[in-house]
């Protein structure tokens, strides 16, 4: 890594991404400081870090989402950088700004960039100004249902309510008709307020049977950027991604060029710094695509890009923050093979995906060529009920999509977790479905097709 003022990094996260960041610090010769709630006192990222400090009780609001607690921990331990990972405060502009105000390098984009791209209306306006196609929608976000309702008819139904701040499917509702609007707005706004402390809602036209396509980018903050082949994140449930793959089976070379160019135009146009993801929806029949948002952080699904490029994207975040240029990351022309990621959640999918916390008493993981497992879970570890239910990411890499699916089939068959319910067998079921095998899916396929036949689901 280039010479810089960064030598001690506070990891403002938990679980798999926190452990990954600790290991990255070690590889780059940096000192790591882990933070943890009392519920995570024995978690792997705590014991792996050079230093660890407790920042509060199990409640995320009083620990991992507490800006004062995190800043106090950073200052107390002599940190001159903070790595946010994904989730929690990773896209919180106020947190990034307070890091800057305290002379601590926020490993990510500037606070102003986070604020602009985190506001769905401003992000849409910015993208349009830079020539990136956008979905028809509202120009502003709304906190009152009556003001939003007055604009909704001009957008047309069905429409999608989206939280102005945050992501991950929280604060999102599909509204089929005007009669559903007020109730849906109230529910989505309350959910957004709880998750992001911001209940303002943005609206856009809802397009059924579309694919969710995203482009991984890196920027140096000086108007230079690189983009990598797209990821297809269309296998979702209630706007939560479950399976991601790269490249997308529905994107040809000409469309790929357009997608990457649009992502680069936006990334360069806002002088973006670090790793980010530009997200689009794609109408497969018309090949029309539209910008929906930019995630100003590392994505959960970034390993599928790493396996195809050989680039460590988390290390890239650190290296760019330290002032390194983009020349060593300009390898988008040598991406190879096909990669698929399966999110393994502690959930009982036979009971509407209810969370399944508890003690893991068996943990047998798949191994072999083309198989990667990112996790911070091990046998005799407690999965708590306080945080996101994802406990692992299984990523497979093959020469093409069918080879990757074959590797996934073998990996999932060898993957066993005892003591709690998980979505491992859900993924076994999913990849054998004809629609998935034949690539006949869309963002509502899980609800509309895969889980629509209750007897079939319960017989698996």
So which residues are the catalytic ones? 297
Q: Phi/psi at 141 (nearest 5 deg)? A: -100, 155
Query: Per DSSP, what are the bridge partners of residue 392?
Result: 344, 375
Cα–Cα distance list, 264 to 190, 271, 334 (Å): 35, 10, 18
Tally Cβ neighbours within 10 Å of residue 258.
14
Rg over CA atoms, the chain: 21
- Asked if 192 contacts 164 with a C-beta cutoff of 8 angstroms, the reply is yes
Tokens of 438: 């034949």
Token pair 């036979």 is found at: 350
Q: Residue 263, CB half-sphere, CA atoms under 13 Å: how many?
A: 31
Tokens of 34: 């882990």
Cα–Cα distance between 33 and 9 in angstroms, integer? 6
Tokens of 78: 């002599």
Token pair 């509702």 is found at: 173
Nearest to 72 by CA among 91, 59, 53, 86: 53
Cα–Cα distance between 49 and 11 in angstroms, integer? 9
Strands 416-418 and 382-383: unpaired
Cα–Cα distance list, 177 to 42, 184, 201, 249 (Å): 49, 10, 17, 33
As to burial, measured by CB atoms within 10 angstroms (0-12 exposed, 13-18 middle, 19+ buried), residue 166 is buried
Nearest to 201 by CA among 236, 157, 149: 149
Cα–Cα distance between 252 and 237 in angstroms, integer? 26
158 preceded by a cis bond (ω within 30 of 0) = yes
Query: Per DSSP, what are the bridge partners of residue 33?
Result: 10, 51
């Amino acid at each position: 890594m280039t010479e810089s003022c960064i030598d001690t990094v506070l990891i403002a996260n938990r679980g798999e991404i926190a452990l990954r960041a600790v290991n990255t610090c070690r590889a780059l010769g940096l000192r790591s400081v882990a933070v943890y709630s009392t519920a995570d006192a024995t978690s792997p990222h705590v014991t792996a870090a050079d230093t660890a400090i407790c920042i509060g009780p199990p409640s995320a609001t009083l620990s991992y989402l507490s800006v004062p607690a995190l800043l106090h921990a950073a200052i107390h331990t002599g940190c001159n950088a903070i790595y946010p990972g994904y989730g929690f405060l990773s896209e919180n502009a106020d947190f990034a700004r307070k890091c800057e105000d305290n002379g601590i390098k926020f490993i990510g984009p500037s606070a102003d960039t986070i604020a602009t791209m985190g506001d769905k209306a401003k992000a849409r306006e910015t993208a349009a100004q830079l020539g990136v196609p956008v979905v028809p929608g509202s120009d502003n976000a709304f906190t009152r249902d009556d003001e939003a309702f007055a604009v909704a008819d001009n957008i047309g139904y069905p429409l999608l309510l989206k939280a102005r701040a945050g992501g991950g499917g929280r604060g999102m509702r599909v509204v089929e008709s005007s009669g559903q609007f007020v109730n849906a707005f109230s529910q989505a706004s309350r959910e957004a307020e709880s998750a992001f402390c911001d209940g303002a809602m943005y609206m856009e036209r809802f397009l059924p049977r579309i694919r969710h396509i995203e482009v991984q980018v890196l920027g140096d903050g000086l108007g230079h950027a690189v983009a990598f082949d797209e990821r297809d994140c269309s296998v979702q449930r209630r706007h939560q991604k479950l399976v991601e793959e790269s490249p997308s089976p529905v994107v040809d070379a000409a469309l790929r060029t357009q997608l990457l160019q649009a992502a680069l135009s936006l990334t360069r146009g806002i002088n973006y710094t670090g790793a980010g993801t530009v997200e689009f929806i794609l109408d497969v029949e018309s090949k029309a695509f539209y910008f929906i948002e930019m995630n100003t952080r590392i994505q959960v699904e970034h390993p599928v890009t790493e396996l195809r490029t050989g680039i460590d994207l988390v290390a890239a975040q650190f290296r760019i923050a330290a002032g390194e240029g983009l020349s060593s990351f300009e390898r988008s022309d040598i991406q190879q093979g096909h990669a698929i990621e399966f999110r393994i959640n502690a959930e009982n999918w036979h009971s509407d995906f209810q969370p399944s916390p508890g003690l893991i008493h068996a943990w047998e993981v798949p191994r072999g060529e083309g198989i990667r497992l990112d996790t911070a879970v091990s046998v005799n570890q407690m999965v708590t009920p306080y945080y996101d239910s994802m406990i692992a990411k299984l990523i497979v890499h093959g020469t093409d999509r069918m080879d990757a699916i074959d590797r996934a089939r073998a990996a999932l068959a060898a993957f066993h977790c005892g003591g709690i319910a998980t979505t491992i067998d859900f993924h076994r079921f999913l990849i054998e479905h004809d629609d998935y095998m034949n690539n006949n899916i869309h963002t509502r396929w899980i609800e509309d097709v895969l889980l629509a036949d209750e007897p079939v689901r319960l017989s698996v």
